[in-house]
Amino acid sequence: MIKCIKCEEVSGIAKAGQIRGKQRYHCKHCNYYFTLQSSSPDSNVPPSSRSSKHHATILDIAGKLKISKSTVSRALRNSKEINPETRNAVLKMAQKLNYVPNYFASSLVRRKSYSIGIVVPELITNFFSQFIIIAQKAASLAGYEVVICHSNENYSNEMDVLKRLFAYQVDGILLSLSSETKSLEHLNVFQDAGVPVILFNRVKNRPGFPKVLADDYQGAFAGVEHLIKNGYRKIGHIGGPGNLQISKDRFRGYRDALIKYELEFNPNWIVYYDLSPLNAKKCAQTLLEKPTPPDAVFAVNDPAAIHLIIEAKQRGIRVGPELGIVGFSNDSRSEVIEPSLTTIGQPIEQMAETCIHLLLNKINDSRFSLPATTILKTTLIERCSSKK
């Protein structure tokens, strides 16, 4: 039987909703609402982490200084319209009280999160890791936080993380598409909300989405040209997923180099790699088991090239003399594998900084018009896998 904790009546007590999981009661005699105090020993411990200390707010500063919170806010942010003395006093008091501004309150009223989202397809190869490092540094210099997400080369993951980033109200997005992504409709929500999205590296040709990328065509062309100049003639290709622009451009570079030097273009020497680790091995095998295999291969990226080196070595094929190989992206393993892998280096740092600067420009001035495409130079890194 429940007893009213005020008038101590036992009849006329009705349940009235719940509070923080506890049953609430109502006494009709004294018209009083109450919950039963649990008799557990830790009843004085607040259930949530309310125990954490109170953070100093601008109101605390204002109180101590006997000024208004508007003035404090001004002192903390607007350099103008404030007496330098007041300003210093506020700054000193803020320091003294360990004042830390509340991003949530600020972001709520300013409708800006001061954070940008970066979505990458993977973090295994070091291209994206390095990209993130540079991008994060550049962003934080401008006072922006970076939220990093990865799609794991999966379209539905990509949609999920973008949804989360949208809910998080990032001010902009840097996106490198997953190998599965075929449509950009999941980006409409950002377009509608006026949140700028820049595609990088793994892009798609769609109007309205600016792109920052390496010169994949030129890089591939240079890689294949390098093979040709080193005396290889039957040059094959491990291509990437057909829906990625990167695959198409690198393929075009490969093909055009063959055309320029009037070499045989043999579809039998081309296999396609879906970017999954298992598939890399299979691609290498398929290529090497051809009745008349190529004497050189340009691979769409280093993982494919590396697996090709491994497979070739296992079959006793001497990589270099018997099989020239050129990769793309300068993976950390490419320097260490034997023979070391000739590859195309991407301007990661430049790419990351360009992305951030373009994005921040757009964020800070919606009238800023983003260049549709920014293409950055690649460099041929000559190593041993392409020497006869």
Partner DNA sequence: AACGATTTCGGCACCGTTCCCGATTTGAAT
Partner DNA sequence: ATTCAAATCGGGAACGGTGCCGAAATCGTT
Binding residues vs its own copies (CB under 8 A): 17-18, 42, 45, 48-49, 51-53, 55, 80-81, 98, 100-105, 107-108, 113, 123-124, 126, 129-130, 132-133, 136, 140, 145-150, 152, 164, 166-169, 189, 192-195, 306, 310, 332-333, 336-338, 363, 366-367
The C-alpha atoms of residue 35 and residue 19 are separated, in whole angstroms, by: 8
Least distance to DNA, CB of residue 89, Å: 8
Cβ nearer to DNA, comparing 104 with 316: 104
Q: With binding defined as CB under 7 A, does residue 110 bind DNA?
A: yes
Residue pointed to by tokens 């491994």: 310
Contacts of 155 (CB under 8 A, 6+ apart): 178, 180, 181, 182
In the complex with its own copies, which residue's Cβ is closer, 220 or 288?
288
Region 61-100 residues binding DNA, contact defined as CB under 7 A = 66-71, 73-74, 76-78, 81-87, 99-100
Strands 32-35 and 115-120: unpaired
Using the 8-state DSSP alphabet, how is residue 370 labeled?
P
Closer to its own copies by CB, 80 or 291: give it: 80
Question: Cα(370)–Cα(359) distance, rounded to whole angstroms?
Answer: 8
Return the one option of its own copies, DNA, none that residue 169 interacts with (CB less than 5 to 8 A, by type): its own copies
Task: For DNA, give the closer residue by CB, 61 or 305.
Answer: 61
- Nearest residue (CB) to DNA, 102 versus 373: 102
Q: How far is CA 28 from the centre of its chain?
A: 59
3-class secondary structure, 46: coil
Q: Which stretch binds DNA (CB under 7 A): 36-44, 56-64, 186-194, 274-282?
A: 56-64
Using CA atoms of 246, 249, 252, 257 in order, give the dihedral in degrees to the nearest 10. -100
Q: Which does 42 bind (CB under 5 to 8 A by kind): its own copies, DNA, none?
A: its own copies
> Among its own copies, DNA, none, what binds residue 383 when CB lies within 5 to 8 Å by partner kind?
none
- List Cβ neighbours of 41 (8 Å cut-off, separation of 6 or more): none
Distance of CA 227 to the CA centre of its chain: 34
